[in-house]
């Protein structure tokens, strides 16, 4: 025990504390200034529920039903984030994070923030998500110090945090995962400190509380709780050692051991604490919702048909869009390190946790986790990989020098790849986030690969750039127009405007003969930079179908706002027409350019193409390579 205490004190000397403080600041500001954030998706109402608890004494949102929320009327009745029960409106997502955030929201309210306002809500989520990452860093460092000296321990901690979905998920919004991961990390810290002798007890009542809070924040944490309880049973003496005694004698001894031993009392204390809190939660749910569990926690979600399990398993492990071994490359080394792990009880805790987590998530939700970066739904398992890496390196340190150096070098190289993926691509590169709006998560034959774009190695999410997104969107739109016959004949003098309902993309294929034109090069999401949807490529095209072309006088009327000074080269059916100039107007007000056209430019009874080449398009920022040029209000081929 004296040796362990000495090692622990060394871990808290000036050098490691200084490194941890530096990493804390780096982690906080990486998250705080990140370009990518998901505050308006699943966590949209998390802090609004916290505010309702303070303002109205309830988690129900009825008091805000007539208010503007996130800049628009609440409209709870038609909101997929809201469920109605017994005449009351509730947030669909877990209530745990909302209740845990109440103290913070109380302070935010004191300084004048209102969680119904988009700016205040986003800033509050950014602050809490950044702080949660800092707290996680210190918890992980505490776990690492139980197994390794401070230098390798902090290297593995930094790589596991900066090079995994821990930062690219937890750093983008206040997800339920943030609270669940913190509770799980704290529970692991209690377990490993007892395991290595740094503590005489696992603090069962605190451990039981943490296990409940993990589940309270995110139902998938049940996959962690069961292996922990099994480990505690094993430690208490129910592990079936072969002593030569009869089964009855062993059973009697095991019962006595469980009753009298410290480990048995810790098991009972942990289980009883978690069970009492769970019972209170069930009772509250029954009173509030009329069911023993809110729908988000309900096991009924496991019964929904999610498609073939083998596809989901292949996807979360090896796909180009969500594969664990692709986005967390250091995980590959753990397959090699299994020879040092299989005899360690903590390793079996981790492996069983991985298996249960995959089972729960593959049946309880869509395996790709929605519009995410990499394997977001496996974020809790990053703690498993972290612990397995610590256990493996503890054993590898005792091997030959060449083996140690080889493993360490491979880990650092793969770790740097992971850091680039998650600390840059996942937080600061807008293109991988925009990939979710351009690609299709599911198969859309014949336009996507057989299993969907998540399995495509031609346009993988982790390598997405603005050029590759423009190329993918244009290729798909042209393919859809060619095969789906969705364009109706264009009538001269009809304005062509961008419409989310008639836009042609893999995410939106309009009915046949319904669209006047297919627009290529328009941004797939609205960034509110201008009144009209802007272009995001340095080339754009308008595909339209013509019938007869009378020998009339024709003009092209292009009405658009410009970002800066923009030259536009106009081509029609492969023929150069003219170059025009747009200048940015105050308030991005649109102006109209009129070009005379000869009837010979048009091709009757064929698909026609208007191409706009934008040589002055420029990236929005170093973090967002979308090519800003025009925000087009309308395009008209006028005839008289």
**What pLDDT, in 10s, does the model give residues 570-617?**
999 999 999 999 999 998 999 999 999 999 999 999 999 999 999 999
Percent of the chain predicted with pLDDT > 70: 93
Task: Taking residues 461-475, report their average pLDDT.
Answer: 93
Which pLDDT score is estimated for 470?
94
Q: Which of 29-38, 301-310, 543-552, 631-640 has the lowest mean pLDDT?
A: 301-310
Task: Taking residues 439-459, report their average pLDDT.
Answer: 90
Which pLDDT score is estimated for 304?
63
Q: Where does the pLDDT of residue 634 fall: very low under 50, low under 70, confident under 90, or very high at 90 and above?
A: very high
pTM of the predicted structure, to 2 decimals: 0.90
Q: Where does the pLDDT of residue 243 fall: very low under 50, low under 70, confident under 90, or very high at 90 and above?
A: very low
DSSP state of 533: P
- CA dist 228 and 387 (Å) reads 14
Q: Which of 78-92, 188-202, 370-384, 499-513 has the lowest mean pLDDT?
A: 499-513
Whether the pLDDT of residue 246 is over 90: the answer is no
Whether the pLDDT of residue 256 is over 60: the answer is no
Which pLDDT score is estimated for 640?
85
For residue range 348-364, what is the model confidence (pLDDT) as tens digits? 999 999 999 998 888 77
Task: Taking residues 258-263, report their average pLDDT.
Answer: 66
Q: Tokens in use for 89?
A: 């409106």
Which pLDDT score is estimated for 80?
83
Among 95-99, 257-261, 441-445, 504-508, name the most confident range.
95-99
Element (H, E) at 410: helix 401-419
Burial 495-512 (b: 16+ CB within 10 A, else e): ebbbeeebbbbbbebbee
- Domains belonging to the chain, first-starting first, are 2-428 (no CATH), 466-639 (2.60.120.260)
Q: Where does the pLDDT of residue 255 fall: very low under 50, low under 70, confident under 90, or very high at 90 and above?
A: low
* Helix, strand, or coil (residue 375): coil
- CA dist 384 and 73 (Å) reads 42
Whether the pLDDT of residue 155 is over 70: the answer is yes
Q: Are strands 82-85 and 518-520 parallel, antiparallel or unpaired?
A: unpaired
Whether the pLDDT of residue 22 is over 80: the answer is yes
Among 120-129, 279-288, 391-400, 499-508, name the most confident range.
120-129
For residue range 60-74, what is the model confidence (pLDDT) as tens digits? 999 999 899 998 898
Length of the chain: 640
Q: Tokens in use for 438?
A: 């351009």
């Amino acid at each position: 025990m004296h040796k362990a205490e000495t090692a622990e004190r060394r871990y808290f000397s000036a050098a490691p504390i200084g490194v941890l403080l530096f990493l804390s600041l780096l982690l906080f500001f990486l998250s705080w200034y990140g370009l990518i954030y998901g505050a308006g998706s699943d966590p949209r109402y998390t802090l609004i529920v916290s505010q309702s608890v303070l303002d109205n004494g309830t988690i129900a949102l009825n008091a805000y039903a007539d208010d503007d929320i996130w800049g628009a009327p609440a409209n709870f009745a038609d909101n997929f984030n809201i469920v109605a029960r017994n005449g009351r409106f509730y947030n669909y997502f877990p209530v745990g994070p909302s209740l845990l955030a109440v103290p913070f929201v109380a302070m935010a309210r004191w300084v004048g923030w209102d969680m119904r306002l988009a700016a205040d809500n986003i800033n509050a989520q950014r602050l809490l998500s950044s702080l949660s990452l800092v707290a996680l860093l210190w918890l992980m460092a505490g776990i690492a110090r139980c197994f390794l000296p401070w230098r390798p321990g902090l290297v593995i901690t930094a790589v596991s945090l900066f090079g995994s979905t821990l930062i690219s998920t937890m750093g983008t919004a206040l997800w339920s995962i943030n609270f669940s991961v913190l509770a799980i990390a704290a529970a692991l810290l209690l377990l490993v400190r007892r395991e290595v002798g740094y503590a005489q007890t696992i603090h069962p009542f605190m451990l039981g509380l943490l296990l409940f809070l993990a589940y309270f924040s995110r139902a998938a944490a049940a996959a962690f709780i069961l292996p922990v309880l099994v480990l505690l049973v094993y430690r208490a003496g129910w592990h079936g050692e072969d002593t030569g005694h009869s089964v009855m004698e062993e059973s009697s001894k095991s019962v006595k051991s469980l009753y009298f031993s410290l480990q048995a009392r810790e098991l009972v204390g942990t289980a009883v604490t978690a069970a009492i809190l769970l019972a209170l939660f069930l009772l509250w749910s029954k009173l509030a919702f009329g069911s023993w569990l809110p729908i988000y926690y309900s096991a009924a979600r496991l019964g929904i048909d999610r498609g073939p399990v083998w596809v989901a398993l292949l996807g979360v492990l090896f796909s180009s869009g969500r594969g664990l071994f692709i986005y967390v490359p250091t995980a590959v080394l753990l397959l090699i390190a299994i020879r040092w792990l299989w005899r360690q009880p903590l390793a079996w805790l981790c492996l069983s946790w991985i298996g249960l987590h995959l089972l729960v998530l593959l049946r309880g939700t869509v395996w790709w986790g929605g519009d995410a970066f990499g394997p977001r739904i496996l974020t809790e398992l990053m703690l498993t990989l972290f612990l397995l890496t610590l256990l493996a390196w503890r054993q590898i340190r005792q091997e030959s020098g060449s083996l140690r150096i080889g493993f360490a070098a491979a880990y650092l190289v793969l770790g740097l790849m992971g850091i680039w993926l998650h600390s840059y691509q996942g937080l600061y590169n807008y293109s991988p986030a925009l990939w979710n709006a351009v690609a299709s998560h599911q198969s859309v034959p014949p336009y996507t690969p057989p299993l969907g774009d998540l399995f495509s190695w031609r346009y993988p999410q982790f390598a997405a750039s603005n050029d590759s997104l423009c190329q993918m969107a244009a290729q798909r739109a042209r393919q859809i127009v060619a095969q789906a016959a969705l364009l109706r004949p264009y009538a001269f003098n009809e304005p062509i405007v961008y419409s989310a309902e008639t836009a042609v993309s893999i995410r939106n294929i309009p009915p046949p003969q319904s669209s006047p034109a297919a627009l290529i090069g328009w941004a797939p999401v609205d960034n509110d930079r201008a009144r009209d949807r802007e272009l995001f490529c340095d080339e754009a095209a308008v595909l339209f179908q013509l019938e007869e072309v009378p020998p009339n006088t024709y003009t092209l009327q292009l009405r658009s706002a410009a970002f800066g000074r923009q030259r536009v080269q106009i081509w029609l059916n492969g023929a150069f027409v003219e170059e025009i100039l747009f200048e940015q107007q105050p308030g991005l007000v649109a102006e109209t350019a009129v070009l005379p056209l000869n009837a010979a430019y048009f091709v009757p009874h064929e698909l026609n193409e208007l191409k706009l080449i934008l040589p002055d398009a420029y990236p929005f920022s170093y973090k967002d390579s979308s090519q800003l040029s025009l925000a087009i209000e309308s395009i008209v081929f006028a005839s008289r």
